Structures are given as C-alpha cells and as structure tokens.
Structure 1
Amino acid sequence: MNQPINQSTTSLVQELQTLRDFVRWALTNFNSHHLYYGHGTDNAWDEALHLVLGSLHLPWDSDDRLLDARLTQLEREKLLELIRRRCEDRTPLPYLLGESWFAGLSFKVDARVLIPRSPIAELIQDGFAPWFNEDEAPARILDLCTGSGCIGIACAYAFPTAHVTLSDVSEDALMVASENISHHHLSDRVVSTSSDLFAALGGETFDLIVSNPPYVDLRDLSLMPEEYHQEPELALAAGDDGLDLVRIILAQARKHLNEGGVLVVEVGNSETHLEALFPQVPFLWVEFESNASGVFVLTAEQLDEFQADFDAACKP
C-alpha cells in the first residue's frame, strides 16, 4: 500500500530550494508510489522533469544550468502540492499542468476531457497521405467525438484552407474544445457543435471524417491503472466489446461523407472485436512509426459496398 507524503510541508519548503532538488524529490516519490505513466511520458524521470519545469512555465529542454536556480517560497509550495496530487491522488500530469501536447501543438486540458494521446497525430502530420495531398486537400473535415478538439484543430493546421467541425455529445468537452479554438485563433475555420454522433449534423457532408470515440471494452476498463480512471468515463467506456459507438459510426458515416471521402477511426484494443464482427470488411489498419495500432481507414466506396452489413450490426 502506498504511503502518503508525510514530511511536513513547512520542513520541505525550507529544505528543497532548487529546481534540481524538486526533480529529485519528485523522482523519489514517483518511484515509491509506483505510478503509471502514459499521458505524455513513459518513465519517472521524464514525468518529474515535465512536472517541475512545466508547472513553472519553463520548456522541458531548458539548459541544465537552470536546474540549480533557487525557487521562491510560493513556487516551492506549489510544486510540493502538485507532487502530492500526482502521487496520492494519481492525477495525470496534463491535468496538473492544464496542458497537453498533440501533433506538436499545445492544448488546454482538464478533467472534463480525455488527455490527447491518439496515434492519429502521426496521420495528421503526414497530411493523411496517400488519401490526400497538397493538390487534393479536404475542404471540410469532421472531428467526431472531439473531446479537447485536438484532432480537428491539428487537422486545421495540416490543411490551412479546410473548414473543420468539432462534434461531441459532452457539453463540458465542447467548452474545452471552444477554449482551444480560441487558443489557436482558428474561429474563422473551426466550429464546435453539440451532437450525439451524427444526430444533430443534419445533411452536412465532409471530405474527411476522423474519430477517436470511446472504445474501451468492459474487461480493459476494469484493468486500467488508476490514472485513467481520472478521465471521464464517457470518453472511454463503450460496452462489452468496446464497439457500441463504432457500430453506429460505420452505419451512418456514409450519409455524411462526400464522394471520394475517407473515414478514419481509432478503436484501440477493440480492433480484434471489430474484425470478428465484420470479417468480410477489408479494414485498412494504419501502420505507425511509433508501433501504435488500432486505427482503421475506409473509403466512401467501401462504406457503400458494406452498408448492409453495417446497418445489420446496429439492429437490436
């Protein structure tokens, strides 16, 4: 059982003076509390460095000489509280900092939204090649189940002439997405809308639909580390096989996809469930340089070909 950080705050504020002191203190406590890393870092050292530097608005790759800089008392008290919350409450680092990075861009995040970590970032940075290029760029893009808005906003950067719709059923998430639209000064090309999947989108159509919907099955949800249970369950859980929303997306996407359009969906570990459900469908599973998996691509023509199968899977 993890032990609380029980040395008095007053004593620690006096003993820990420099950035280096706090990185070391954080590292010791992270290791002793056996934290899980998966929201931007994958080890205790990087987590400690990012927490200490990030909370003081310093870049993580700052000159090493800066580590010997002394901190003010208010800064020391703030850092001690963040380290305590990371260890004892298991609060993920991006929530502590109020910021996460995705596709090389900074996004505001808090407990109202899933922390950005989708491998779709790699597709965005590659301009969704080979389906699109500079000469044939998507004019309209839909980020379905947008959360923080990171996927759609990153798409707006990748395609500077595209108009992007960020859609989510969660009003809380849409508030964060709207903040990120303003943060990136993209209100002229990016809009947010409240919709339960496609329900409120009417007859709108798009050249590219990208979605990172809830897809965690019951078994995986029960086994996830505590850090993931700090995120909204609405953004994670999707029924026994993780495909509750994906079935609907597959059945309804074609009505909102233009001729020649492309559907990109992340399903994570539920990839095996999806292939078992639709063995006849030639899902193209994206191969990522990061070795991530669980993202498929289907064209409008493929959605047409298997529409009857997708419709049947949605029937009671």
Structure 2
Amino acid sequence: MSNHYLSIENVDMTFTAKGVESQVLKGIDLAVERGEYISIIGHSGCGKSTLLNIVAGLIESTSGAVILDGKEVNSPGPERSVVFQNHSLLPWLTVYENVALAVNKTCARTKSKAERHEWIIKNLEMVGMGHALDKRPAEISGGMKQRVGIARALAMEPKVLLLDEPFGALDALTRAHLQEEVMRIQDELGNTMIMITHDVDEAVLLSDRIVMMTNGPSARIGEVLDIDLPRPRDRIALADDPRYNHYRQEVLRFLYEKQRKVESLAQRRGAGGEQEKAKEKRMAKA
C-alpha cells in the first residue's frame, strides 16, 4: 500500500455512449503529500474535472485506484470536500443555513449544537462572510457566494479540499481577492488542496506543484513542475521575481510547445502498435 497521503494509482477512465467507447484518462499516477497544494492544468477536454470527480468519489474509474490516508476511495465522503466553479448554494437557505446543512450532516456525532453553531460562525468569519449570515444567495455577489462555498467545504473538516476552477466565473479583482484568501487559509490550516485551473498565473501563485495534462483523448500526466517559491506569497513582489516568471514560462511552454511533441510521440507509438497488430494477424494467417 502507498505511503503517500493521497495516491492516484494507474487510473484509466473510459466512457461509453451509444455503444462507442471514449477513453478520457489513461495511466494517471500521482502522489500527493499532506498539506500540499496541487494544481492540475491543461487544455479544455483533457479530463481535468473527470480526474477530480474520481478523487471526489463522484464517478468510479474504469481501472486503477485512489487511496486517501490508507483507505481506498470508491464513493463520495466528507473527507473530500468539493468547491465547484458554480457555488452550488441552495437559494432558499441563508448563508448560515447553507453552511449549517453540511456541518449538521458531518458533525452531528462529534459536536454539540452549540459547538456546531460556533464552528459555522468561525468558518464564515474565516472567509470574511460573518456579516452576512442571514442573507440569501440572491442577495450577495458572485464572489461572496464562492466564499460561502469555500466556508461550507472547510467546515466539513476534509482531509482533502478539491477545487474545480473555483474562481473561473469571477471578475479579475474578485478572483485576486479570493486567491489571497485561499492562500491565507491554507497557510493557517495546512489543508491538502487539489485545484483544477486554466489560469497559468493562478497555478504558479498558489501551488507547490503543477500537474500538466496532455490533450485528450487518453489524456496523461505530461509533466509535473515543482514550484519552489517561499510562502507566504505576495503577487506584487512575485511579478518581478525571475523564478516566478521562469515557472510561468515552463507551464506555457508545455501547454503550447511540448504538448505538440507529446501528442506526436503518442501518435507514432499508436501507429507502431497498429503495425505490430497487423504483423501478428499476417503471421497468424500464415
């Protein structure tokens, strides 16, 4: 069994629609340590969200396994909270009630009613939403909704926080503020986080490692980049940091240059495999 905190082991994912199979992921191997911030980046359609959903237990991989803290993941569970791009708040509930719903579900046996109340307030205050407890989603901004979504996920005390493009629908200024909040929260709590993103600057700013996916179908992990930048990180200071710009260029180079080489190599391997099958068929007939 893996000694890593979270281990994704040889995961394949194939979907079947109308009798036609489509392989989305092939041979995904990734080890994540406790407290790491991992970003997964790649072009649209490369299976990033599919991989996150497998880790969340929302879908089951065709083959391979996900091991979290020594236990195999095969269904959703409170130890893996998800923050989606769409905040997913229930519109008829208040900010407080949206977080309470998750806390009462996961902490009823471990916390008293008073303790749960304090915990809800603490998590909402952590994301700067303690002033809006009685507001409903329609009464607050998109950035505020996403803060509530993050508070709800954190309040479940997950072992891993999964973020599926959590800032993708926000304006640039709100996005920057929430990135700062997430960095502060992770520094304070030491959460293990896995984030899907299309944003290269966001990935470099937030991550300990960036996992770069090849294009689908049969997407793989093409490269993993270690981000050796001290924490806490200041986006203004990093703008002139040669290491930051080097990492940024490395990701862009993979996405727009190395990606083509990886695809070309895969195509050559595929062609070689077809030639080998044809040769075997000829030998069988002989």
Name the TM-score, length of structure 1 as normaliser.
Answer: 0.30
Q: Which has the higher strand share?
A: 2
Structure possessing the higher relative contact order (Cα contacts under 8 Å, 6 or more residues apart) = 2
